[in-house]
Structures are given as C-alpha cells and as structure tokens.
Structure 1
Amino acid sequence: MIFTSDKDYKSTKKIKQGVSKIKEEFEPLAKWIDQKYDVKTLNVLFDYMDNIKSHPRLQVCLEYASDKGKFMDNRTYNFDVRKQKEIAKKFGEITSNYELKNKPSWIQRILGLTYKSKNLYVYFTDFESIAKIEANESIPDKEIIQLKSRLNNQELWEIDKKFDGVTFFLFTDELLKKYQDSETHKIWNGQYFHLLTNYDEFGYFKKDYFYVHLDSKENFDNNYESNWFYYYK
C-alpha cells in the first residue's frame, strides 16, 4: 500500500469508513497484534509475491504512522525481525485452526483456500500516511488559486501542493528569509490548514503539527532547472 490508487488502500479505507470489515479469519490475528504491541490494526492482507506460491506474504495495515514505527528496527531502519517472526507464527496458528474448523481439506486444496505460513514474509504499512496524501491532493487547483488571490501578496509567486504537504514560493531568496517563521508565515499555516480540513475525512492532520513549507522561485530556477520533476525527485 503505497499510493491512494492501490486496491489495498481502497479496501482498507472502506474498513475505516465502516462500509466493510476485515476478513473473518484475520480478525483474531488483528486483535492479537493490537493487544501484544499496543497498536491499532485496520486490515490484514495475504497474497503471494509475484504470484509465486512459495513466496507468501502478509501485510499488516496499521492505522497510524506511529504504530508502524513500533515495528521498525531503530538500528537498521528495517522491519523488526523478531516481531515479523512472532506474527508469522501466530498467523500460522490462527489460520490453521480456522481452515480446519470451516472448510474440508479437499475443498481447500482444490480452490486454493489454504494460507501458507511457511517462509511467510510479514511487512507493515500504515493507513494514515496515505490518507493524508489523498486529503491534500484532493484540494482542487481552483481552490489553491482562490487562496492565493485572497492572500493578495505580490511577493508570493506560487503555491504548490504535493504528497501530504504544501510549499509557498516567494520570488527570491531574500524574500524567503523575510517570511520564514514570520507572522505572515503563521497566517499562511492557518489559512492552508483551514482549506485542508475540508478534505481531511479522518482528521489526521493536526493544526499544532501542520507546517507550510517556504521556498523561493530563485532556488527553483537555479537549482532545479525550473522543473517540478527535479524539484520533487
């Protein structure tokens, strides 16, 4: 789950909205993860890497970015191997019991309904990060233009939103220094946040932690060849 267009994100969003539920067989695992690691699991998704049956994988979709952080190894910045193994083991126990209880083994084999836990790769994503991107990028361009018009500042060149953030571009580096952390900058923070809340369906953006980034057209032209692709690369 990386983009707002991913089917995994869309299915998890429906769970968050209360439109659908996590798969019945994964509910016990989600509850176990929440209790053991003090997190909130929204969804659990099982598939095979490159559709190869010998490479099963399990996506644990947590709600918050801070929850995902609990499964990272601070030394290597990779997933915590111990926790991956713990969840893989628990997944094998729970799904094995579910399959024995609910489906005859011959039906499982024919329809491919068994969950393979051997060599299972467990990885973690969070819903909040993608939802914040969706909220920010849902703001129509015309509303950005209207905001710039209301601000009515001749020293402001452009307002550009990307991913989960926004950058206000002044014309020069000198103007950038003038506005950085100024009272005007604080006003811009508030104005953009107010606009953003109209599209933040789940309220993930918090005013005290929201920050409008400032940059300059001079920097954009001189160091990024006036190219948005280079700027955000």
Structure 2
Amino acid sequence: MIVQTDKEYSSTKMILQGKASIGEDFKSLADWINDTYQIRPINIEYDMFVDPEGNRRPRLNVIFKFWDEQNEFSSNESYFDSVKQAAIKQQFEQYLRTKREKIGLFRKISNWLFNSDYHTKDMFVIFISFEMAAKADVNNMITSDKLEILKSEIDNSDIWKIERLFDGACFIFYNTEQANANSQNSYADILAERYYDLLKSFDEFDFFKRSELSIILDSKENLDKNYHGNLKMYLRRVITDKIN
C-alpha cells in the first residue's frame, strides 16, 4: 500500500494527469504484464527497502489504477501471488540482459551502469493499488472548516460532529439512541449522499462511486463511555476495524 506522501504516489498521480510517463526501463515490462494478464499497470517503480530481517533488498513496485486490478495478483495462500511475482521478476531480468546485449561494444561499461542502477538478486515484487491512496487523498482535502459547513447545512441538532474516515465519514450523534434510530431509516442514505457530493468536488480521477461509499453513524455517548472521550483513539480503532 502507498500513501499520499510516498514518491510512488506522486509520480503515479502525475502519469494519470498526463504530466509524466512510465519510466523507459519499465515500458516493455508494463506491456508484457498487460499481454500476459490483460491488466495494464499505470506505473512501475524500482527502489531499495529493508526487510523484517534487516536486509537491504531491491523492490519492484507494480502499481495498478484500481483495487480490483491489484487483487488479481493476490492468492489464497499469501497476500501476493508468488507465481506472478516470480514471472514478473524473470521478465524484468530478461529485459536487462537484452538491453546489455544490444549495447555490444560498451558491454563492460554498461554492465557497471546496470548493476549500479538495478539489482535483481532477492528482488521483491509487490502489487499496489493507486485507488486506495487516491481516495484517502481526496478525503483529506475535506478540511475541518468544510465539515463544519456541511454540518451547518444539514442542520440537525442531534449531530455532534462529522469526522473523516479514510475513504468515508463518521457522523457522530450525541447519544446512542439517536445514532441507532437514524441508522435504521433512510436518513443514513441522505447523510451519505451529502458527504458523497462533497467528496466528488475533489475527486479528480473519479474513483468514488455512490454505491460504494460507506458512512458510520455513532454517538458521543459511545465515545465517552468506551474511549474516555478520546476522539483520536476512537477514530484509530474504527479505521483499523474498517480496513480489516
């Protein structure tokens, strides 16, 4: 997963905006992935990372636009499909070998350059969805002031606060009875519609769909009783439960 502060997010966003293109060394690999799996990555990036054992290893970040596309590269046994990981690593290594051979007379120099740029021993291939980070980015554009304006426009004195939740929102009522009552009628859909309209004003790549937007209705009573009134602790717990 990437977040808005990662360089992979920024470079991929620029590609989707038409301000940049995929790196030259990864174009043929993107074509091969598309030909082989009928899904085209929008970006591929190479970097180094430190694994849990403390070893510095190369990593190939294959970035797809949508979550459903990334999900095609997972398996039941593990998060990533190891067969597809190995096939993509092998294809990238083949590309590097072919490029070295084409250089011909300058092979010694080119070998040194390639080895300094790309290491493939123990390389880890990961698959990433741009969609999830982009949705969080859009939601983060909704400031506290905009949430207060929305709350004022909704004009319901039972609502204590509106908070952002990763790619959605939480409408916090004063007591649990109010939250439960509004969860069981069409009012929850009205609140979702209002928040969706706000999101769409910032949704540059049209990721948000009304049918997929989920909101949570909860209460300050629950916050005070179970989280000692700590809003940050409550939101962390809700976001964790939502992701899991």
- Both proteins in one fold, TM over 0.5: yes
The Cα shift of 1:114 comes to 4.5
Correspondence for 2:241: none
Q: Which amino acid aligns with 1:185?
A: A
Correspondence for 1:94: 95
| TM alignment of 1:146-165, pairs within 5 A | 146-165=149-168
Q: Percent identity?
A: 33
The Cα shift of 1:108 comes to 3.3
The Cα shift of 1:96 comes to 2.0
C-alpha separation between the residues in 1 aligned to 2:64 and 2:206? Answer: 16
Distance 1:99 1:32, change over 3 A: same
C-alpha separation between the residues in 2 aligned to 1:60 and 1:20? Answer: 17
RMSD: 2.1
32-41 or 42-51: bigger deviation = 42-51
C-alpha separation between the residues in 1 aligned to 2:40 and 2:99? Answer: 22
Secondary structure at 2:88 match in 1: helix
Structure 1: which 5+ residue stretches go unaligned? none
C-alpha separation between the residues in 1 aligned to 2:15 and 2:109? Answer: 29
Distance 1:26 1:118, change over 3 A: same
Structure 2: which 5+ residue stretches go unaligned? 238-244
Q: Which amino acid aligns with 1:59?
A: N
Q: Which amino acid aligns with 1:61?
A: I
C-alpha separation between the residues in 2 aligned to 1:188 and 1:162? Answer: 14
Matched-pair contact (CA < 8 Å) for 1:61–1:124: yes
Among candidates 171, 174, 180, match of residue 183 of structure 2: 180
Query: 2:212 aligned with 1:223, yes or no?
Result: no
Distance 1:105 1:189, change over 3 A: same
C-alpha separation between the residues in 2 aligned to 1:99 and 1:26? Answer: 15
Correspondence for 1:48: 48
The Cα shift of 1:97 comes to 1.5
| TM alignment of 1:200-215, pairs within 5 A | 200-215=203-218
12-21 or 211-220: bigger deviation = 211-220
The Cα shift of 1:113 comes to 4.5
The Cα shift of 1:124 comes to 1.0
Correspondence for 1:61: 63
Distance 1:151 1:42, change over 3 A: same
Q: Which amino acid aligns with 1:70?
A: E
Matched-pair contact (CA < 8 Å) for 2:2–2:130: no
Distance 1:158 1:114, change over 3 A: closer
C-alpha separation between the residues in 2 aligned to 1:71 and 1:188? Answer: 35
Q: Which amino acid aligns with 2:83?
A: R
Matched-pair contact (CA < 8 Å) for 1:132–1:164: yes
Query: 2:24 aligned with 1:24, yes or no?
Result: yes
Secondary structure at 2:160 match in 1: strand
Matched-pair contact (CA < 8 Å) for 2:139–2:168: yes
Q: Which amino acid aligns with 1:39?
A: I
The Cα shift of 1:88 comes to 0.7
Correspondence for 1:143: 146
